[in-house]
């Protein structure tokens, strides 16, 4: 007995309509596909969305009619209908949000050709056009008006294209709907496999698209049930201190923007880490949690063992865990202990973690092995020594000293691997961001801002630099 049978029995006026069932299934598929595909998919044809909306309206009216009826059988039917209604509404909302966020991100791209515009519904097209007009006016009044007229076009395609497009090379999961040949391009080589119906395969979207278009496969977001993999290479990334703050934001951004990256989010507090991992997973990030207290050799050894057994390698290490005076405000802790703990966590432990993970990084088959050190402009001796610099203050003494030492530590790894261009070792200043480290200072940037440069460094290819110290604006003086 399914929900329709129950409803038919308790409410004789309710009739199961197969078309509605089919519509719900189709909408669910469209929703999953839209959430999985890196680009905007065509608006569902044949009035599907309009029918769904009418159906929702009808259900709302029905609920209003039934409310107040004291018959327990009607009440039960009401609960079932309301639950079903909420399910419909959730899928509709989530589907529209997935589309709007893509339109917001690449508005000009989707307006740039008739073919792309035809993917948008009438209302989406009106929304995108207004959105772009507002943005253009804002750019114009902020800075574009100071340029010569021929340089004021946002869609100027001379030289570098100014119209940002979605990344069609990012990875997606597809489920095969019939036996077929699956061809995928990998990092090192291309691959082919005889796919069987129901196989779940991870592929670049550009390779998967023809299979989805021809009806041989459908997009799938369940990344826990795949049984075969046809490339591309999955980059294994370890982030220390990822249960909150910038580590968490880096995991979120990296995982959301690179479906072929698997994140090992580590943290010293299991409960807080589990909560963070759950949240990331609910957002579709490929992530696992691993307890790692960077100040404990035992914990480091245990983590290395787990990663060796499970993944056998590491491709990216982000040394993010850190503490400052702010995290140690207890007046009873003696100054010597404060200094000791800050230097121990930020410098000594970073060295121990990096050394312990080098053998796994050496096993990476990715085109580059990347190590990122989360430094800070506060570490810069050049800025401190400059009387004109606004960083010439005496605060966070132990913290800033630890970050200067961390830069020196990082330089040692730069030099160690300088003759092997596959190693990219860089120092990053995330910018001043509101986190626990500074008591969530209200004047600081959103934590998400702090993830931008780290993610750039975590995805450097063979042409990328090594030995740099940068923030989002460029080079930071040593
Ligand atoms: N926020 C900024 O403005 C800013 C600016 C420049 C550089 N940075 C750097 O960015 C990095 C992240 O800082 P944040 O701002 O995100 O601060 P945060 O929110 O306090 O995060 C620091 C992270 O490090 C973890 N951690 C501390 N000690 C650890 C240990 N012994 N083992 C494992 N993990 C440990 C913390 O875990 P718990 O949750 O258990 O404490 C937390 O997850 C730090 O290296 C910091 O120096 C931040």
Q: How far is CA 390 from the centre of its chain?
A: 34
CA distance 368 to 364: 8
Q: Does ligand 1 lie within 6 Å of residue 267's CB atom?
A: yes
Q: Which of 62, 102, 209, 403 is catalytic?
A: 403
Average pLDDT over residues 202-225: 79
Long-range own/partner contacts, residues 39-47 (CB < 8 A, 24 or more apart): 39/102, 39/166, 39/168, 39/205, 40/99, 40/102, 40/103, 40/106, 40/110, 40/119, 40/120, 40/166, 41/119, 42/118, 42/119, 43/119, 43/120, 43/121, 43/124
Q: pTM of the full predicted structure?
A: 0.60
Please report, for residues 91, 221, 281, the alpha-carbon distance to residue 29 in angstroms, rounded to integers and kept in the order given. 10, 10, 20
pLDDT tens digits for 318-330? 999 999 998 777 8
DSSP per position, 92-141 = HHHHHHHHHHHHHHTHHHHHSSHHHHTTS-HHHHHHHHHHHHHHHHHHHH
* Partners of 433 in the β-ladder: 445
Mutate to test the pocket of ligand 1, among 245, 343, 376, 470 (most ligand atoms within 8 A of CB): 245
Q: Does ligand 1 lie within 6 Å of residue 433's CB atom?
A: yes
Q: Best-predicted range by mean pLDDT among 54-68, 80-94, 364-378?
A: 364-378
Q: Does ligand 1 lie within 6 Å of residue 429's CB atom?
A: yes
Q: Does ligand 1 lie within 6 Å of residue 44's CB atom?
A: no
CA distance 73 to 10: 6
Can you give the pLDDT at residue 246? 98
CA distance 355 to 301: 11
The answer to whether residue 399 is catalytic is yes
The answer to whether residue 424 is catalytic is no
Can you give the pLDDT at residue 338? 94
pLDDT tens digits for 414-429? 999 999 999 999 999 9
- What separation in Å is there between the alpha carbon of 327 and the centre of ligand 1? 9
Q: Does ligand 1 lie within 6 Å of residue 466's CB atom?
A: no
Which residues are CB-contacts of 407 (< 8 A; sequence separation ≥ 6)? 373, 375, 379, 427, 469, 478
Of the chain, the percentage scoring pLDDT greater than 70 comes to: 89
Can you give the pLDDT at residue 71? 72
Cβ atoms of 136 and 182 closer than 8 Å: no
Residue 268: name the closest of 224, 303, 217, 231 by CA: 303
For residue 23, what pLDDT band results from cuts at 50, 70 and 90?
Answer: confident
Which comes out higher in pLDDT, residue 1 or 432?
A: 432
Can you give the pLDDT at residue 189? 62
* Partners of 316 in the β-ladder: 237, 370
DSSP per position, 304-315 = HHHHHHHTS--S
- What separation in Å is there between the alpha carbon of 292 and the centre of ligand 1? 13
Cβ atoms of 368 and 460 closer than 8 Å: yes
The two tokens of residue 18 are 């197969």
- What separation in Å is there between the alpha carbon of 245 and the centre of ligand 1? 7
- What separation in Å is there between the alpha carbon of 248 and the centre of ligand 1? 10
- What separation in Å is there between the alpha carbon of 352 and the centre of ligand 1? 17
Nearest-CA residue for ligand 1 atom 1 is 433
Residues 372, 375, 380, CA angle at the centre, nearest 5°?
A: 135
On average, the pLDDT of the chain sits at 87
Which H or E run contains 406? helix 397-416
pLDDT tens digits for 94-136? 889 999 999 999 998 999 899 999 999 999 999 999 988 888 7
pLDDT tens digits for 51-70? 888 888 888 888 888 777 66
Residue 372: name the closest of 283, 201, 258, 242 by CA: 242
Residue 195: name the closest of 118, 206, 187, 207 by CA: 207
Cβ atoms of 86 and 20 closer than 8 Å: no
Which H or E run contains 190? strand 190-195
For residue 152, what pLDDT band results from cuts at 50, 70 and 90?
Answer: low
CA distance 93 to 411: 49
Residue 376: name the closest of 459, 476, 299, 467 by CA: 476
């Amino acid at each position: 007995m399914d929900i329709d049978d129950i409803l038919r029995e308790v409410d004789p006026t309710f009739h199961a309509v197969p078309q509605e069932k089919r519509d719900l299934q189709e909408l669910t598929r469209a929703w999953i596909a839209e959430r999985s595909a890196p680009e905007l998919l065509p608006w569902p044809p044949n009035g599907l969305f309009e029918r769904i909306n009418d159906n929702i309206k009808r259900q709302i009216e029905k609920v209003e009619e039934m409310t107040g009826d004291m018959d327990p059988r009607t009440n039960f039917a009401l609960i079932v209908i309301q639950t079903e209604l909420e399910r419909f509404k959730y899928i509709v909302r989530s589907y529209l949000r997935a589309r709007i966020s893509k339109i917001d991100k690449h508005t000009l791209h989707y307006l740039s050709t008739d073919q792309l515009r035809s993917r948008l519904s009438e209302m989406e097209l009106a929304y995108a056009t207004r959105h772009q007009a507002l943005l253009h006016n804002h750019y114009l009044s902020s800075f574009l008006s100071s340029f010569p007229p021929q340089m004021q076009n946002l869609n100027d395609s001379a030289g570098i294209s100014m119209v940002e497009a979605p990344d069609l090379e990012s990875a997606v999961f597809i489920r095969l709907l019939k036996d077929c040949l699956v061809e995928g391009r990998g990092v090192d080589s291309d691959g082919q496999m005889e796919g069987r119906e129901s196989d779940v395969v991870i592929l670049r979207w550009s390779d998967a698209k023809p299979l989805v278009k021809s009806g041989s496969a459908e997009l799938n977001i369940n990344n826990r049930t795949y049984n075969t993999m046809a490339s591309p290479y999955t980059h294994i990334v370890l982030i220390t201190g990822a249960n909150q703050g910038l580590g968490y934001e880096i995991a979120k951004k990296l995982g959301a923007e690179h479906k072929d990256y698997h994140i090992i989010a580590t943290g010293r507090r299991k409960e807080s880490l589990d909560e963070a991992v759950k949240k990331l997973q609910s957002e579709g990030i490929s992530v696992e949690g691993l307890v790692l207290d960077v100040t404990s050799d035992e914990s480091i050894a245990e983590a290395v063992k787990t990663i060796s057994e499970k993944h056998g390698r590491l491709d990216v290490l982000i040394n993010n865990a850190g503490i400052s005076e702010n995290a140690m405000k207890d007046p009873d802790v003696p100054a010597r202990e404060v200094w000791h703990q800050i230097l121990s966590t930020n410098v000594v432990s970073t060295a121990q973690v990096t050394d312990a993970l080098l053998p796994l990084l050496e096993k990476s088959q990715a085109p580059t092995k990347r190590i990122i050190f989360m430094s800070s402009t506060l570490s810069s001796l050049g800025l401190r020594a400059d009387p004109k610099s606004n960083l010439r203050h005496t605060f966070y003494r132990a913290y800033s000293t630890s970050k200067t030492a961390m830069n020196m530590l990082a330089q040692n790894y730069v030099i160690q691997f300088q003759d092997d261009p596959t190693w990219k070792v860089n120092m990053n200043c995330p910018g001043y961001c509101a986190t626990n480290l500074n008591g969530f200072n209200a004047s600081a940037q959103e934590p998400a801002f702090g993830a931008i440069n780290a993610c750039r460094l975590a995805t450097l290819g063979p042409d990328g630099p090594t030995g740099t110290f940068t923030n989002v604006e460029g080079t930071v003086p040593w």
